[in-house]
Structure 1
Amino acid sequence: MKKIILSALLLLPLFLLSACTTALPGEEVMQNLVNRSADLDSYHQFVAFRTTTTKEDLNGATTVNEQYTTADATLFPEEKTGYGKRINKNNPYPATKSEFYVTAEVGYVRTDDADWTAYATPDVPLASLQVYPLETFIELSQIIETYGTLERKGDEYVLHFSGSDDALNKEINYLFQTFPAERTDYDIEIRLDAETFYLSDFSYRSIVTQADQKAVSTTELTGEFDLYDQAKKLKSTPVFDSASSVPETSDSSF
């Protein structure tokens, strides 16, 4: 009898620990993600985008074309401001480096240390630099929750989808404003912090096979998010009237 009671007492803490880490329903997790992210003052993100196309020509020779982009940005959604850097590489051409600084009234961009160029519409630099905002990946999370799986793993929620699905394919291409291909295979994983419900990192891969053109296109998108409500602003407003004017950052994002 004593052994039974002792065994029960030993199992009780394990039961309580398990209850404390029970996964919430997917709909509740997504709602927490949306609600917590809507009130953000600031955040930092690093996103890398790579496309690789392998194609066989009429002579049977295989050609490979690769493009990649890395974007490191600190954004303040409520104030509609942000700053960061971006690197573009399109083989076989040399890589180019861009810097941007955006306020609610105007945006500035410069490439390879040239003069700053001002835009009347602040959204132009962000759009031209393809710095996908956090909202894009929140929507992607909602899509994966609908078509894939969501699991609680330790202190994280992990969303995952692997395979092909016509409905999912249409939603993802609409999200990224691209044209859907008939045969697309995906492997997507998104991780959320289980305590704060903030998005921490993601990996995205799509493979489009065009058998009639003997071509395969692979898109890889990876990213990390941090400094939620802790990202720092520029120490002072930069001056953009000369090529030597460089925004001075006050955090270690770069």
Structure 2
Amino acid sequence: MKKNLLAALLILPLVLLSACRTALPGEEVMQNLVNRSADLESYHQFVSLTTTTTKEDLTGATVVSEQYATSDATLFPEEKTGYGKRIDKDSNYPATKSEYYVTPEVGYVQIDSADWTAYATPDVPLASLQVYPLETFIELTQIIEAYGTLELKGNEYLLRFSGSDDALNKEINYLFQTFPSEQTDYDIEIRLDAETFYLNAVSYSSTVTQADQKSVSTTELTGEFDLYNQAQQLKSVPDFDAAETTAATADSSF
């Protein structure tokens, strides 16, 4: 009994010590995030983007329109390859389903089970595949660290911003390449793993109110990230028949 008690007393400080992680300064957390993410061999991400606009038409009736896109991607930055699927939907049109496979030389796209299309520039289908690349979310994290709050909560760093800020608004619109609006309210939460400093999840919401046009537009963006340096090439390379594959060129600035 005494031996068991002694063992328990010895283990307890170790448990308490491991639970009491010391929070690092925000600048150091951001530097770790950038450095660790730059050397990734592989990762997986699921991203969804929904935009809902409510507007009053000329008759005074309320019109609601919605657009959304979801993507599920597994990427290998060092090998410059990746694959995944994407769904795009506009409330006025049927959903479009796309499948992508990217190699260092060329990217292939298949839309609604049609023939595969080969793009001369691989980064074009890659950009479509991801909705937003990991680098965009890292830049968003840096913006929130500068304007919001950062705290160590359990095994994660939690970054938050809620409200409106003109300077932040300009930076976010520049990042997402969108037209800025003065009346924009944000609710953003980002979670980083406290040990690896990798992105775990992003929850982003912005509401733009345009009183003169009697419209309110809400954008909701979520991202989930995992399998850092653990993703495997589970998907086999599609059989691209040169005679049946449609060739296409594209502007890499897409």
TM superposition shift of 1:72: 0.3
Query: Which residue does 1:240 correspond to in 2?
Result: 240
Partners of 2:52 and 2:64 within 8 A in 1: yes
Distance 1:129 1:154 in 2: 33
Q: Secondary structure at the match of 1:192?
A: strand
**Aligned amino acid, residue 151 of structure 1:** E
Q: What TM-score comes out, normalization by structure 1 length?
A: 0.87
1:185 is paired with a residue whose SS is strand
- Map 1:43-122 → 2, pairs under 5 A: 43-122=43-122
Letter of the aligned partner of 2:111 in structure 1?
T
Aligned to 1:23: 23
Task: State the alpha-carbon separation in 1 of the partners of residues 213 and 129 from structure 2.
Answer: 30
Q: For 1:187-202, what aligned pairs fall within 5 Å after superposition?
A: 187-202=187-202
Matched with 1:164 is: 164
- CA gap of 1:64–1:194, structure 2 versus 1, over 3 A, is same
Counterparts of 1:233 and 1:192, CA distance in 2: 25
Task: Identify unmatched segments of 5+ residues in structure 1.
Answer: 1-8, 246-254
1:93 Cα deviation after fit: 1.6
Distance in 1 of aligned mates of 2:19 and 2:83: 43
What TM-score do the two structures reach when normalised by structure 2? 0.87
Contact 1:113 1:243 in 2 (8 A): no
Are 2:73 and 2:129, in contact at CA under 8 Å, matched by a contact in 1? no
Offset, 1:59: 1.7
Q: How far does the alpha carbon of each residue in 1:90-148 deviate from its partner, in whole angstroms, 9 at most, with x for none?
A: 01321110000011110000111000000001111123445311111111000000000
SS state at 1:146 partner: helix
Equivalent pairs, count: 235
Alpha-carbon offset, residue 237 of structure 1:
3.1
Question: How far off is 1:242 after superposition?
Answer: 7.9
Residues 135-176 of structure 1, C-alpha deviations (whole Å, 9 max, x = no match): 111110000000000000011100000011111111111111
Unpaired runs of at least 5, structure 2: 1-8, 246-254
Paired-residue identity, %? 82
SS of the counterpart of 2:67?
Answer: strand
Amino acid at match of 1:240: F
Runs of 4+ in structure 1 over 6 Å off? 242-245
